[in-house]
Structure 1
Amino acid sequence: MALSTVTTAFSGNPLNRADHLRNDAEILGDWARRDDARFVLFADDRVLTDEFGDIAWMTPGRCRFLPLGTTIFLGLEGDAPRYAATLDGSAEEFGDMFAPAKFREGRAVAMKFGHAHPSLGIVAQAKSMLAWHKSHLFCAKCGHQSELVKAGYERKCPSCGASHFPRTDPVVIMLAFPEGGNNERALVGRGYHLPPGIYSALAGFMEPGETIEEAVARELMEETGLKATKVEYKASQPWPWPSTLMIGCFAWVEDGEITPDTTEIEDARWVTREEARRAVAGETPNLILPPSLAIAHNLLELWLAEE
């Protein structure tokens, strides 16, 4: 059963995360050596995929002599355990060892699919978790090296006893419309990091003590000088770079002049439905909108589907 009317890339993870098994001492032991166990491998933050872009699951036998680094339990597919592991070494060092499978960057995998796919949800879970372990090797309380526990869902400090848990950083991303304007125009912006001509929905990290609506309003005011009067949640998307949750919203703003904060964004502008439709169809070289792997694309599709 679909939980949302909007299916975003990197969502839809089909695994049973099986929290009740994470404290089992054998979940990274005997379970991981079972014939039906499978591993998804990462090197240089790239994931091993087959020629079609799907996860190239490895058996315990194929992993036996590999230089595995961090290994975590992802969950169950049916009754079969699934794991993620890093390889000690660069993707290039492993060359054609897994051919025809190869290591690909996660966004390239999503582009290869061209649409939402259950494997992308697994990639998001695995990549986010492994990146967290890589960046949280030491206790934030006392500085001692911490240890992986609970099958990868906690790090414990053997020195001071502090526990550390994987984190997800919330980001609001919004498509805004003029108040009372029948949604005929939408507000888009471009950051300095984007290639020429590319515009997207505005976005920013939530701050402590904020609601989603307040974060949307603050970001709109900070980046464009426009005051939000209404905010509606639409959809969310895991984004494993390194581990964020994109919270997609529509917003409506008071009439006023756009005054971009050029310390944050290069430009902001209104686009009409017709301009957006042509841009999505690739007919406007000076206006390029986000590809299908981005939740900004989903928000634009929702808008364009309105009567």
Structure 2
Amino acid sequence: MTTPEIPPTDPQLSAERLLETESVRSQPTAPALLRPEPSGPDLLDPFSNGYGFFPGLPGPEQAAQQALWLVFSRDSLLLTEELELPTTLPEGAEGEVYLGLQGEREVWAARLTADAPEGQKFFRLRGLYGRVPDWLWVLGGYGYQIAEWDRTHQFCGFDATPTVRADHERARRCPKCGLSFYPRLAPAVMVLLTRVHEGRPQILLCRSPQFPPGMYSANAGFVEPGETVEHAAHREMKEETNLDIRGLKYFDSQPWPFPHSLMLAYTAEYAGSEIVPQPEEIEEARWFFHDELPSLPGRASISRRLIESVVGERPD
């Protein structure tokens, strides 16, 4: 399993490992904490006004009473037995970071290395999808990335001087050399390739060696320095499957805080060549008819929505 400190070498692994044991097919839904009913074009955006969260700086020096606390132990989030956020900081927590406002209430993140307080429990953030409201799941991912970035940038990478937080932007600075450190973000491009074969539509799905048995997903890879996202889409497909693409069309994006990716999803048309999987990266790449699909990623990942945008919604 990829640790929060080490970025994965395979974004498909990062985006799909939650699927091994964290099924969301029949999980109960928690109460919609502080969430107004969303409406309009921002229906699916937990960072929109419809869900009431506003990232912000500078923050207050001290948390207000009844502030909402995102408390992490590695990649697990502290919640009450009712799957709600705690409103007091547990004893022994450290690294408090102000995140912004949820409605009119402050939101803070912190870390706890001790056991969870009585009546509360740590839940792996990935496994909470479908069990808590969408706004809370995405907000948890945001808080996790900020808390981990803050924890891992306590010292300057150039001269080892302790860094300090900037007041008006999300950054840590070295007071000695002036070097600034911002939250890390690794963009990754995902492409679902389509074609018509024998008069029937097909999609290309790939299998990483790290996937659960029988699972396939759309091809994905990290954007390299100096590339556009479109260039990366062509390069990754050629490198990992030997296939050429055309007609690249943007679908949607998804922040993916495991540990710090931004997934950018596209569809494209097959433009030639034969499948040759890249050794150690792709175990198998195959064309599938829409009514003969294998096991797919869970609904927490954008890859599932990307596939269903082409073939229609699939039963779990």
* TM-score interval (norm. to shorter): 0.7 to 0.9
- 1:104 to 1:210, Cα distance in 2 relative to 1, 3 A: same
Q: Which residue matches 2:58?
A: 23
- Of the three residues 249, 270, 278, the one matched with 1:261 is 278
Q: Which residue matches 2:20?
A: none
Q: Which has the larger share of helix?
A: 1
- Of the three residues 89, 92, 117, the one matched with 1:67 is 92
Deviation at 1:244, TM superposition (A): 0.7
Matched residue count: 273
Q: How far, CA to CA, are the matches of 2:302 and 2:258 in structure 1?
A: 14
- Of the three residues 75, 78, 93, the one matched with 2:103 is 78
Deviation at 1:132, TM superposition (A): 1.2
- Taking only aligned residues, the RMSD between alpha carbons, in angstroms, comes to 2.6
Q: Which residue matches 1:105?
A: 124
Q: Is the 1:39–1:57 contact (alpha carbons within 8 Å) kept by the matching residues of 2?
A: yes
- 1:233 to 1:209, Cα distance in 2 relative to 1, 3 A: same
Deviation at 1:183, TM superposition (A): 7.8
Residue aligned with 1:218, SS: helix
Q: Which moved more, 1:76-85 or 1:264-273?
A: 76-85
TM-score (norm 1): 0.80
**1:38 maps onto 2:68 in alignment:** yes
**1:56 maps onto 2:85 in alignment:** yes
**1:304 maps onto 2:314 in alignment:** no
Q: Which residue matches 1:217?
A: 234
Residue aligned with 2:292, SS: helix
Deviation at 1:45, TM superposition (A): 2.4
Deviation at 1:135, TM superposition (A): 2.2
**1:250 maps onto 2:267 in alignment:** yes
Q: How far, CA to CA, are the matches of 1:77 and 1:138 in structure 2?
A: 31
Aligned counterparts, 1:141-160, within 5 A: 141-150=158-167, 153-160=170-177
Counterpart of 1:57 in structure 2: which amino acid? P
Q: Is the 2:71–2:111 contact (alpha carbons within 8 Å) kept by the matching residues of 1?
A: yes
**1:167 maps onto 2:184 in alignment:** yes
Q: Deviations over 1:167-186 (max 9, x none)?
A: 21101111111279988111
Q: How far, CA to CA, are the matches of 1:252 and 1:161 in structure 2?
A: 47
TM-score (norm 2): 0.78
Aligned counterparts, 1:107-256, within 5 A: 107-113=126-132, 117-150=134-167, 153-178=170-195, 184-256=201-273
Q: How far, CA to CA, are the matches of 2:80 and 2:200 in structure 1?
A: 43
Counterpart of 2:201 in structure 1: which amino acid? E
Q: Which runs of 5+ in 1 are unaligned?
A: 277-286
Residue aligned with 1:184, SS: strand
Instruction: Report percent identity of matched pairs.
Output: 30
Q: Is the 1:177–1:252 contact (alpha carbons within 8 Å) kept by the matching residues of 2?
A: yes
